[in-house]
Structure 1
Amino acid sequence: MKLSLNICITCMAAALLVFAGPAQSAEQYNGKKITLRLASPSPTGSNMVRGYEKFVELVKEKSNGKVRVKLFANALLGSDRATMEAVQRGTLDMASCSSPNMASFAREYMVFDLPYVTSPAHQKQLYAALDSGELGKRFDAVASGIGLKTIMYSEYGYRNFASTKKPLNSLEDLKGLKVRTTDSPIEVAVASALGMQPSPIAWGETYTALQQGTVDGEGNNWEHMVNAKHIEVLKYAVDSQHNYSMHILMMNKKIFDSLPAPVQDILMEAGREALQWQREITIEHEARAEKAMLDAGMVIHRLSDEEREAFKQATRKVWDQFANELDKDLLQLVLDTQK
């Protein structure tokens, strides 16, 4: 009888572990304490940094305090490109890099830079494809090929053009504008297609460049402009929504692979949960940022359907320009989400 009871207890325990799945991985890790460093160029209070703060909190909670992530925001450890290079070298554990700047590491990421390749109306389909579809699997392989492990596709949002010196009420108003871009070849080409003068500048140097007149404007989401205090010098904007960006949290693959399996599960699960939470708060953040811009006296021109179509047509040649450099299968996977 005693033997049977022990067997039943053992079976019940095993069943609980099976049904609990990865969510119980934190309780299963009883190894030594681990500390990881995470760098983000984004300002404190932004939707991305809040998402990473949630990630840090969840990792600590799921590991019962045995795994800690130290977050360095505000470009404290350098720009996203510089910190991602450090992650590749293994001198930094994790870093967040914008999808346009990820094109410097693997050209496959350029597919997200195409103007109007995605739209806000189809975000849920894009999320599903990245989180659990073939699109996400393909990019996992891309990341692995450059020594990285994808942890989460943090929501950044749609970029809009803004200016320090003149209203942006039409395509004509963009011509001649000296605009800050990332290093993405496509982003540079989009600016040129619209008649602007592109100037790739590191994010941490953008405020000074706007203030000193090195550039007259930028393409960014509302919240980033607000949190970085760019609205102190920016005066006009247009809701062009010409490009969707993410900030992709990556980890050095060798370091990730060297961690105990329960710790790997903790990091991935915390990333999934933090991502869902971060996406939910982004809508609120963007609305609050837009209000802050208007309160600061900025003038925002809202494109009509006809005007937006004109922007799309003016930038369509960029698709042709990079047709031979893009992974056609990846592009099709992205386009499949826009139906």
Structure 2
Amino acid sequence: MVDSSISRRKVLQTVGGSVSVGALAGCAGGGGGGSEGDGGEMTTTAQASQDQDSYTLNLAESATQESAHYRGTELLAETIEENSDGRISVDVVCCQNAGGPPEITSSVNSGTLDMGVSAVNNLANLTDAWLFVQLPYLWSDHENLYGFWSENYGDGGRGEVVERVHEAVYEDLPNIEILDYWGSNGGSMRHMHFSDDSTPVVPTDGSGQGIRVTESPIEGSTVGNWNFSSTPVAWSETTSAMQQGVVQGIHIHYWWLYASGMFEEINYTVETQTQDSPAILHINSDSWGRLPSDLQEVVTSSVAEVTPQQIEMDLEQGAEAKRMIQEENSEIEIYSPTDSELEEWQQVTEPTYDEWLGEDGVPEEFVTSALEFQDHDVPGVEL
């Protein structure tokens, strides 16, 4: 367990409002803060810090302090500071103070943030490079998901497909550098959760209920092919949408269901084990370039040290969230489909593959590479 106590680092939290992103520009960052010099010119804290051979970076994530993303950023900050002998100080920005994942990544790209953590399924409006990751049942388990993407998890070493994805990402987000891939902060695959009296066991039991989905068009297509009405709803509005009957359920991981308190609205869960996505740990290119090569190596080695621990935190978080949901909502029924029932959920997703294979962000060769990496096939899908 990571000690989440505040050390000598400043941890920005939501207290009666949010901190403007413009105020978060880090000392090694490409844009934002600074102070007036004697000549009236802006002198960035990056320049001042470099004169002292010390650097400050801010690192943003959007979840609460109980989350694996926050605990991972805390651990990384401590590790970087320790491994650099205090030459790099890291300010962790949490709790939506820098916005959600799209805002964080946009700010890292613009230079108003130095570093960030964002789950890639939330970045579809910024780049379609990771779109294929959202295909249902593409990943047989989390070990294969993170083994495919992370340079420091499992056998490590990114394959050609990951490098080609990065090339596409950098066309859309030219001012970021991807350091590695972390856990999604969900801790489990996505499942179907219902707030009404629905108790579907297989997709043919669906009858058009409105299900809240993210902005990912592939997720929406998947839920639609299961005989439900996929309904994108902003996260901040989801609980009220469920309470008001705008939607009758949600397709989400256990952790987010628990952390949001939304589990209290749920009567029934069917563990569809549909999909999950990694998160990117990324840094602004200028912030990276201003670090001396020896400190770049410190950051790289620190990321390598922390990444496997963060992913394990993530998975433990998902298991704990499921346990807490069952403990705190005794009315909820969690149904785990039999192998044959789960195969029905899987086979009905074939139209999703037919619809999306070959589209931008979903090259068939990328999908094939991911499946071959796992020695895995998706039931009902022929490539």
Residue-by-residue CA offset, 1:242-266 (whole Å, 9 max, x unaligned): 1122222222223322322223222
Aligned to 2:158: 133
Separation in 2 of the partners of 1:75 and 1:42? Answer: 7
1:86-235 alignment to 2 at 5 Å?
Answer: 86-120=107-141, 123-124=143-144, 126-127=146-147, 130-131=150-151, 132-134=157-159, 135-145=161-171, 146-147=173-174, 148-156=176-184, 157-166=188-197, 167-235=199-267
1:181 deviation in Å? 1.6
Conserved 8 A contact 1:79-1:204: no
Cα 1:89–1:273 shift into 2, 3 Å: same
Structure 2 residue runs of 5 or longer lacking an equivalent are 1-49, 152-156, 376-383
TM-score (norm 2): 0.74
Aligned to 2:323: 291
Cα 1:209–1:153 shift into 2, 3 Å: farther
Cα 1:202–1:64 shift into 2, 3 Å: farther
Relative contact order higher in (CA < 8 Å, ≥ 6 apart): 1
Residue-by-residue CA offset, 1:69-106 (whole Å, 9 max, x unaligned): 22222222212112212222222222222221223222
Separation in 1 of the partners of 2:236 and 2:99? Answer: 8
1:144 deviation in Å? 2.9
Identify which of 83, 95, 101 aligns with 1:80: 101
Conserved 8 A contact 1:43-1:228: no
Conserved 8 A contact 1:160-1:238: yes
1:186 deviation in Å? 0.7
Letter in 2 for 1:291: R
* Structure with higher helix content: 1
Aligned to 1:307: 341
1:113 deviation in Å? 0.3
Residue-by-residue CA offset, 1:2-36 (whole Å, 9 max, x unaligned): xxxxxxxxxxxxxxxxxxxxxxxxxxx99533222
Matched, 1:33 2:33: no
User: What is the DSSP-based 3-state SS (H/G/I as helix, E as strand, rest coil) of the residue aligned with 1:294?
Assistant: helix
Identify which of 270, 286, 289 aligns with 1:238: 270
Letter in 2 for 1:161: M
Separation in 2 of the partners of 1:240 and 1:141? Answer: 33
Letter in 2 for 1:41: S
Aligned to 2:363: 327
Letter in 2 for 1:257: G
Letter in 1 for 2:180: M
Separation in 1 of the partners of 2:337 and 2:254? Answer: 15
Separation in 2 of the partners of 1:194 and 1:215? Answer: 15
Letter in 2 for 1:305: D
User: What is the DSSP-based 3-state SS (H/G/I as helix, E as strand, rest coil) of the residue aligned with 1:69?
Assistant: strand
User: What is the DSSP-based 3-state SS (H/G/I as helix, E as strand, rest coil) of the residue aligned with 1:259?
Assistant: coil
User: What is the DSSP-based 3-state SS (H/G/I as helix, E as strand, rest coil) of the residue aligned with 2:208?
Assistant: coil
Identity rate, percent: 25
The worse-fitting range, judged by mean Cα deviation, of 167-176 and 272-281 is 167-176
Conserved 8 A contact 1:159-1:244: yes
Separation in 1 of the partners of 2:336 and 2:370? Answer: 26
- The alignment of Structure 1 onto Structure 2 pairs a total of residues equal to 310
1:215 deviation in Å? 2.5
Conserved 8 A contact 1:88-1:252: yes
Letter in 1 for 2:166: D
Cα 1:212–1:34 shift into 2, 3 Å: farther
Letter in 1 for 2:143: Q
Letter in 2 for 1:123: E
1:57-72 alignment to 2 at 5 Å?
Answer: 57-72=78-93
Conserved 8 A contact 1:152-1:249: yes
* Structure with higher strand content: 1
1:262-301 alignment to 2 at 5 Å?
Answer: 262-295=294-327, 296-297=329-330, 298-301=332-335
Letter in 2 for 1:142: A
